[in-house]
Structure 1
Amino acid sequence: MKEIKIAPSLMCCDFLNLNNEIKDLEKSGVDLFHIDIMDGNFVDNFAMSGTEIKAIKRITNIPLDVHLMIKEPLRYIKYFADAGADIITVHIEACTHIDRILQEIKNNKVKVGVALNPGTSHLLLEPVANYIDVVLIMAVNPGFAGQDFIPSSINKVKKTRDFLNSLGFNNVEIEVDGHIDTQTIPPLYNAGASIFVAGTAGLFYGDRDYKENIKKLRDCI
């Protein structure tokens, strides 16, 4: 039985208290910090930058999972790698030359992630599967927290897992972002996902008892 990894979405933190938020999340036993970068172009929202990544990198040893929701990501791969990203995930929909971009991520000695929007087929991964460390399945349309879970995401995770295994890439991890809570983790986990981006649905809610909320997310499987 594989262990799950919990990756808090830092865009849901209290930014006026970010240092303490990160320390509290660390103590709660998180595995990654998920950092959304939005340019107001690829998605209709803005979020975070290399400045925040550099600051976060100075205060934590938890790996930084940087999700680029931006157009023309090739221009910024080195920038985010130098800022401290441990994983850089790009959207296949934003990449005209996906092979070149994934090579650039590899060349900067950072793990490679490829994100798929809800309407994007997993079959597009085949030509570049040899580069990929993580496939990020969006279970909501990207850009905003608090959206409803798209039920077809479960079958998409299963198809993606089976497809990667059929190509011999059993070690590629599947990550899911979008309304992750104690109800959605079990079917996604059973379908083949192992990394879960926790936002307002499963972690940053109520009195924000991170230790208890993360325990609930782990225990639900």
Structure 2
Amino acid sequence: MVPQNEVLPAIIAQNQQELDQMLEKVPFAENIMLDLMDGKFVGASSLDFPLKLPEGPRYQLHIMAVNPLERIKQLPPQVDTVILHEETLKDISEAVVEAKKLSLSLFIALNPDTPASVFDQYLGALDGVLIMSVNPGQYGAQFLPDQLEKVRQLRAKSKTLNIEVDGGMTDRTIGLAIAAGANMIASGSFIIKSKDPEAAFNILKIFFS
């Protein structure tokens, strides 16, 4: 099956009120990335509280935290996909088993210093991979174009795998990620901090057409 092309707004928030305000900016989005950070795996903190999510869109929960398998056991029902960092897992296969038990789609994320080869034996078991094209932890971090080589490597190995790129995705960089083989793009500040988030979102979507 050919993977579906998608642009996802990425949301960072410190509390429920801020989360609600962020979600109100993207009522047009069908799929939204939520960035959970514990202040340990990355220096920043975000969404590290019991989440209340409105019905309607689908949600990916991108867990940048230690002990991620404990985090996925008590999620809002609106979350259908979890993204766990390879660097926080003892064994990717354990994450595959746990996600399946909970009927969650599983993506595994890689920080810039981690090679794509860590996926080699797991590609058939994953619903997708997330390539971080910034050092994670904040909106507006510097885009790292060399990370797109991982996208090219993974796309050469699988035409059907969901490959998502997160970090520094703007109208100047999204074309590079898509050309490398990404079919999913998460964009935070370009959409969320825009005066017109829907217009910014639609600009990014055009690159898939």
**Could you state the TM-score of these two structures normalised by the residue count of structure 2?**
0.89
2:166 matched residue in structure 1 = 177
Question: For 1:204, which of 184, 192, 196 is the aligned residue?
Answer: 192
Maintained 8 Å contact 2:132/2:167: yes
SS in 1 for 2:72: helix
Query: Counting helix residues as a fraction of each chain, which structure ranks higher?
Result: 1
Maintained 8 Å contact 2:38/2:48: no
1:10 matched residue in structure 2 = 11
1:103 matched residue in structure 2 = 97
Maintained 8 Å contact 1:90/1:114: yes
2:123 matched residue in structure 1 = 129
Q: By how many angstroms is 1:37 displaced?
A: 1.1
% identical equivalent positions? 26
Q: Does 1:217 align with 2:204?
A: yes
In the TM superposition, 1:18-97 aligns within 5 A as 18-19=19-20, 21-27=22-28, 30-49=29-48, 51-52=50-51, 55-56=52-53, 59-80=54-75, 82-97=76-91
State the one-letter code of the partner of 1:189: I
Q: By how many angstroms is 1:158 displaced?
A: 0.8
State the one-letter code of the partner of 1:69: M
Q: By how many angstroms is 1:3 displaced?
A: 5.9
State the one-letter code of the partner of 1:141: N
SS in 2 for 1:51: coil
State the one-letter code of the partner of 1:98: I
Q: Deviations over 1:53-95 (max 9, x none)?
A: xx11xx2321110111111212222123x55421011111111
Maintained 8 Å contact 1:50/1:79: no
Gap change, CA 1:3 and 1:110, over 3 Å in 2: closer
Gap change, CA 1:107 and 1:2, over 3 Å in 2: closer
Q: By how many angstroms is 1:124 displaced?
A: 0.6
Aligned CA-pair RMSD: 2.3
1:112 matched residue in structure 2 = 106
Maintained 8 Å contact 2:40/2:66: yes
**Could you state the TM-score of these two structures normalised by the residue count of structure 1?**
0.85
State the one-letter code of the partner of 2:100: K
The worse-fitting range, judged by mean Cα deviation, of 176-185 and 42-51 is 42-51
State the one-letter code of the partner of 1:9: A
Gaps of 5+ in 2: none
Q: By how many angstroms is 1:31 displaced?
A: 3.3
Q: Deviations over 1:111-161 (max 9, x none)?
A: 011001111111111222222111000000111111110010222211121
SS in 2 for 1:149: coil
CA distance in 2, matches of 1:4, 1:13: 29
Q: By how many angstroms is 1:212 displaced?
A: 1.0
Maintained 8 Å contact 2:15/2:49: no
